């Protein structure tokens, strides 16, 4: 299709931000997703606990996940938010599909890291599917993940450790490219200086970390963790759907969508 000057658009598009939140277990990531309007979960792990929210049966294969996405795209429904929980449990399913298509026993059987490159084909299918739900069905899309600590070697500064998505680096890069907002979930932590008992120096002090119990969503980049946003959001935000929408100046509950995509 040839573009014309009449196709030029200026300003914000109507699409919802593509959101990824990640962090350690037990901090309320799933609860955050469940508080989004009319949420439906695709679970790759049995992590809903006692949350009373709609969900597909726990996915066992990549094909299960894609079938759920296809049904949400083609069938009439009132769901306004898709939550995928979690993307790091989805990754082995992506590898399984990659290996099955190539007749390989494991993702390492490709050799020289080639398997992880081949897996990106299936990751892109997944992202194409959830992006279609966002663009054509007007759904919020929230991806939930866990964190890992990685070691960063930077020639400009001393090496350091950082929290990152618990994914292979090639998949993590694709997620980071896709997302409009990546939020790292952590407890608010303060440092306090305490006097340290010492026979040699009575004025010696030690620093301890102390948490307030408040859960925060960090959405600005930091050496300590992977985070981003394309909306100049303040950071950190309280971990909650209403606070997130308020920062975006977006209604926290949108009108119910009932139309079926063409």
DSSP one-letter code for 225? B
pLDDT for the residue 153: 83
- Does residue 14 surpass a pLDDT of 70? no
What secondary structure does DSSP assign to 146-209, as a single string?
EEEEEEE--TTS--EEEEEESS-HHHHHHHHHH-SEEEEEEEEEEEEEEE---SS-TT-EEEEE
CATH number of the domain to which 76 belongs: 3.40.50.300
Dist. CA 167–CA 123, nearest whole Å: 12
pLDDT for the residue 156: 77
- Does residue 44 surpass a pLDDT of 60? yes
Task: Evaluate whether 187 touches 216 at the Cβ level (below 8 Å).
Answer: yes
Mean pLDDT of the chain: 87
pLDDT for the residue 254: 57
Residue 132 inside a domain? The answer is yes
| Structural domains counted in the chain | 1
pLDDT tens-digit profile of 196-218? Answer: 655 555 556 665 556 667 899 99
Residue 261 inside a domain? The answer is no
- Does residue 90 surpass a pLDDT of 60? yes
- Does residue 256 surpass a pLDDT of 60? no
Reported pTM: 0.86
Residue 219 inside a domain? The answer is yes
Residue 253 inside a domain? The answer is no
End-to-end Cα distance, the chain: 19
Residue 259 inside a domain? The answer is no
Across 44-72, average pLDDT? 93
pLDDT tens-digit profile of 99-144? Answer: 999 999 999 999 999 999 999 999 999 999 999 999 999 999 999 9
Residue 2 inside a domain? The answer is no
- Does residue 69 surpass a pLDDT of 50? yes
The better pLDDT of the pair 188, 128 is held by 128
Across 76-93, average pLDDT? 96
Residue span of the structural domain in which 104 resides: 16-248
Residue 6 inside a domain? The answer is no
Residue 150 inside a domain? The answer is yes
Across 68-85, average pLDDT? 97
Dist. CA 224–CA 81, nearest whole Å: 30
pLDDT for the residue 258: 31
């Amino acid at each position: 299709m040839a573009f014309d000057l009449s196709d030029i658009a200026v300003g914000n598009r109507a699409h919802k931000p593509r959101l990824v939140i990640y962090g350690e277990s037990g901090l309320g990531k799933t609860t955050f997703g469940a508080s989004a309007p009319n949420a439906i979960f695709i679970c790759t792990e049995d992590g809903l606990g006692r949350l009373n929210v709609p969900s597909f049966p726990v996915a066992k294969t990549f094909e299960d996940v894609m079938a759920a996405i296809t049904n949400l795209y083609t069938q009439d429904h009132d769901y306004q938010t898709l939550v995928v929980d979690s993307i790091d449990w989805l990754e082995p399913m992506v590898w399984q599909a990659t290996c099955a298509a190539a007749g390989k026993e494991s993702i390492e059987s490709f050799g020289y890291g080639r398997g992880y490159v081949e897996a990106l084909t299936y990751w892109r299918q997944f992202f194409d599917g959830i992006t279609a739900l966002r663009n054509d069905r007007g759904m919020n899309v929230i991806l939930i993940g866990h964190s890992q600590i990685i070691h960063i070697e930077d020639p400009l500064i001393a090496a350091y450790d950082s929290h990152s998505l618990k994914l292979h680096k090639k998949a993590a890069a694709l997620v980071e490219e896709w997302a409009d907002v990546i939020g790292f979930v952590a407890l608010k932590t303060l440092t306090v200086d305490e006097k340290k008992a010492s026979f040699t120096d009575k004025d010696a002090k030690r620093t301890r970390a102390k948490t307030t119990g408040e859960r925060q969503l960090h959405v600005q980049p930091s050496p300590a963790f992977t985070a981003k946003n394309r909306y100049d959001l303040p950071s950190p935000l309280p971990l909650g759907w209403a606070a997130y929408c308020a920062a975006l100046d977006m209604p926290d509950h949108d009108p119910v969508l009932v139309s079926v995509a063409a």
